[in-house]
Amino acid sequence: MKQSVDIDGLDCPNCARALESEINKLSVVSNANIDFINKKLNFECKDFDLAIAEIKNVIKQVEPGARLNVNQEAGKKNFYWLLDLVTLLLGIGVGLCALLIPLPTWAFWILFVSSALLLGYKTYLKAVLLLIKGKINENLLITLSIIGATCIGEYMEGLMVVALYTIGKILENLALNKSRKSIEKLTKMQPEYATIIVNGKETRVAPSDVAVGEIIIVKAGERVPLDGTVVEGQTSLDVQSLTGESIPINATKGDNILSGAIVLDGVLKIAVTSEYKDSTLSKIMNLIENAADKKSKTETLISKITKWYTLGVIILSIVVWGIVWAVTGDINTAVYRGLIFLVVSCPCAFAISVPLAYFSGLGNASRKGILIKGSNYLDACAKLNMIAFDKTGTLTTGQFVVNDVKSFDDAMSPEDIIFIASLGEQNSLHPLAKSIVNHNKRGLVPVSNVKEVAGRGVSFEYNGKNYFVGRHSKNVQNTVVQVYRDETKIGEIILSDAIKGSSFEACKELKQLNVKTILLSGDNKEIVEKVGNQLGIDDIRYQLLPQEKYEYIEKLKLDKQNRIGYVGDGINDAPSLMLADVGISMGINGSPASIDASDIVLVDDNPKKVATAIKISKYTRRIVWGNIILSAGIKFIFLLLGALGITGMLSAVFADVGVTLLAILNSMRALVFNPKDINTVNADQIITTQKD
């Protein structure tokens, strides 16, 4: 059974990885994963209580500063941060007394050791515990640095190293917490209750306890707990947390409402249409929470490197020590410069900033209604140079309109053809039938001898004559409706679905990003080419079966330079979504098969967000590599300066802490990045394919 608990007190990703490795060794736990950014421990177990007991035991041995929040412990305020602050200030005060006040040797050593312990007791303890387990990390680097500085008489610099390191950790945690809080509302959208009527009284129950068909009441200021249809009331809805759109939308009787929307005014009665586990909000939460498990190659590479990085740093510092000793003949100078190498080489800047940048990019996309299932897909999205679109429901609304009416009887006008067809279709629920009836301008009358011909159309009698509306042959295009009187064809009605206004923006922005656009549709040549040409799509393919779409994408992928994204919304799109480098499904309430097969889900069916996803992905990837290059560059410079004796240990500490903080702040830019909008077309405007 999958479990998830909060975990606090982890101050670096390396610590989290070391703890995760030890937890996975437990026989009572499997697939343990620590999400450092979200402060979550995810794992599978059969006996939860036994697993928690074993995990807590491991934490005591490996990460004594970490704490699990389980059941009654969850939500408790802790004051460990206050203890850390007091300990830090006390350690600095004691250290200043030892260094600045003339004292007997024994008193100096008592104060010095006390100061060193107060400033870095957690660091030393972690270093020792991990070393016993055969693991080393930056805690050992700092511990060796203060021991080495003390051995060569650099007492002040030894204390400053651990003091600045501890201060840096506090500042890093502040920056991380700021980032966490910035997207905290994403993971706290779940309403705590749903209001139903029991024995004439309003009663609050858990959303998971509400059955399909029950009526729930949602008042102003409350979040809609379950998907449903409005049966009473009207309101404005805030859907920004779902779609990223800041403009409220109106809802009234008969409208469908997604869970997670906030009622701004009035009171709604809503008939529930799906269980909580199948609701929009639940799907979004699952996608967001599982995103941390799928890491990019860059993030995984950094994680693997840091496992061996510290050992390599220690070996290289010994090499530096040996070279400097051989050149200068002064062992103290050699040790000092070797210690500078240890301090500068701490991997915190890489280990924290890279996952934080991806986390921020994923959070930013989620706030805009773009659910990316992991940083690996975010990375892949940044490399796309081709986007293939399905047509119906993706670039078009799926709501058909009459595009043209042809009359083959000189005595009948196009309006007469529409009227006759509407007589036969007036009771049909088929989307094409509804569009024809809506296009009719005359009053309808009952007809007799109505018979449905399965898969073909409907026959009926009107004014003593027999009519047929539909398709006499399977070879007729799906969007062409024929009208027959007796056995004579008297007219044709050509329909098409309307192009979404946002589709024009989507294609325009993709061109600006130098992304080639492709239209793959099962519809007929005339309709597909018209839609494709209006949108300015580069490559148009029509009358394709799902298998043929799959084969076309497979053919494109033979060229290793092509990075293809596929955008679709139906169950027939699932194979192509899985084959593409990045599969993008339209709508959180679309086909479950397409959502499962895709790597990115657009909550609100807006194709323009394909371009937005690419922009966020490219921006985040630039930040990741910017952090890597910046951190590596600065560290290399200070390593060189330290080895040559130009800079001292304090400069090394400032370089390490400073570059880490710069990288963290830079990573947080991905959270607030806002791609520029192209406002040439109203996204809500529906533009049809009617002839000019």
Q: Are strands 516-520 and 386-389 parallel, antiparallel or unpaired?
A: parallel
Q: Are the CB atoms for 279 and 226 separated by under 8 Å?
A: yes
One of 390, 523, 581, 605 is an active-site residue; which one? 390
Amino acid at 640: L
Cα 559-562-565 angle, rounded to 5 deg: 135
Query: Does 523 qualify as catalytic in the annotation?
Result: no
User: Which residues contact residue 558 at a Cβ distance below 8 angstroms, ignoring those fewer than 6 apart?
Assistant: none
CA pseudo-torsion sign 357, 359, 361, 364: negative
- What's the rounded Cα separation, in Å, for the pair 409 and 421? 14
Give the C-alpha separation, 599 to 583, whole Å.
5
Based on the number of CB atoms within 10 Å of its own CB, is 75 exposed (0-12), middle (13-18) or buried (19 or more)? exposed
567 with 394: CB under 8 angstroms? yes
CA distance 361 to 375: 8
Q: What are phi and psi of 266, to 5 degrees?
A: 75, -170
Rg from Cα positions in the chain? 33
Q: Which of 603, 533, 667 is nearest to 285 (CA)?
A: 603
Structure-derived torsion over alpha carbons of residues 388, 390, 394, 398, reported in degrees to the nearest 10: 160
Strands 2-8 and 67-69: antiparallel
Cβ contact 218:268 at 8 Å: yes
User: What are the distances in angstroms from CA 177 to CA 171, 207, 228?
Assistant: 10, 30, 36
Structure tokens at 262: 């906030």
Q: How many CB atoms lie within 10 A of CB 277?
A: 10
Closest CA to 688 of 503, 440, 480, 499: 499
CA–CA separation, 482 vs 505, rounded Å? 35
Residues designated catalytic: 390
